[in-house]
């Protein structure tokens, strides 16, 4: 083995280990992202809870239960965010436009997007 082969091999190994590690820990992990005017916040979908979210018209309540999420309370007129029901798979989303609030399941997925 020549000197440059060694250098190349040594430099590749950390990348190799990192890529395998990174790929494994990120696959099949999903989490909820809630976006409002204040910014973006991530929540685990493993812990069942109710999250209060500040909207333009008032607070919304988002329920996380059993790996799924949904808006359960909003003071918007349309209530489309509530009618939307559960979102569960990576890329699925629900929006409350009057409140400027958007929730989406994030993570690595085979699916590049969801049309609706």
Partner 1 sequence: MWRRFKYSRLIIFFLTLILIFSTSCKNNLYTTKGLYMGTFLIVSIDNEHKNVINKINEEIIRIEEKFSRFKEESLVYKINNEKGSWIDVDDEFLYVLKTSLYLNKISNGAFNPLIGDIVNEYGFYDGNYKVPDENTLKGLLKNIDIKNIEIDEKNKKIKIENGSLDFGGIVKGYAVDKIREILIENSVKESVINLGGNILVWGDRKFKIGVKNPRGDGIIYTFELNGNSTVSTSGDYENFFIKDNKRYHHIINPENGKPAESGLIEVSIVSESGIIGDGLSTTLFILGKEKGKELIKNNFPNTTVLFVDEELNMELIK
Contact residues for partner 1 (CB under 8 A)?
A: 1, 5-6, 8-9, 12-13, 15-16, 19-20, 22-23, 26, 33, 35, 40, 68, 76-80, 83-89, 91-93, 95, 97-98, 100, 102, 104, 108, 110-116
Residue 84 Rama label (left phi>0; alpha psi -120 to 50; beta) = alpha
In terms of Cα–Cα distance, which of 81, 86, 80 is closest to 67? 86
Please report how close the Cβ of residue 42 comes to partner 1 at its closest, in angstroms.
Answer: 12
Task: Tell me which DSSP letter residue 108 carries.
Answer: B
Q: What residues have CB less than 8 Å from 21, skipping those under 6 apart?
A: none
Cβ closer to partner 1: 38 or 111? 111
> What values do phi and psi take at 34, rounded to 5?
-115, 125
């Amino acid at each position: 083995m020549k000197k440059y082969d060694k250098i190349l091999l040594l430099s590749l190994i950390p990348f190799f280990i990192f890529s395998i590690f990174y790929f494994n820990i990120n696959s099949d992990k999903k989490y909820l992202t809630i976006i409002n005017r204040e910014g973006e916040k991530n929540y685990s979908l493993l812990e069942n809870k109710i999250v209060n979210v500040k909207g333009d018209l008032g607070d919304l309540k988002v329920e996380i239960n059993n790996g799924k999420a949904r808006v359960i309370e909003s003071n918007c007129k349309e209530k489309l965010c509530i009618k939307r029901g559960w979102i569960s798979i990576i890329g699925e989303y629900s929006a409350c436009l009057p409140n400027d609030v958007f929730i989406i399941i994030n993570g690595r997925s085979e699916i590049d997007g969801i049309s609706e």
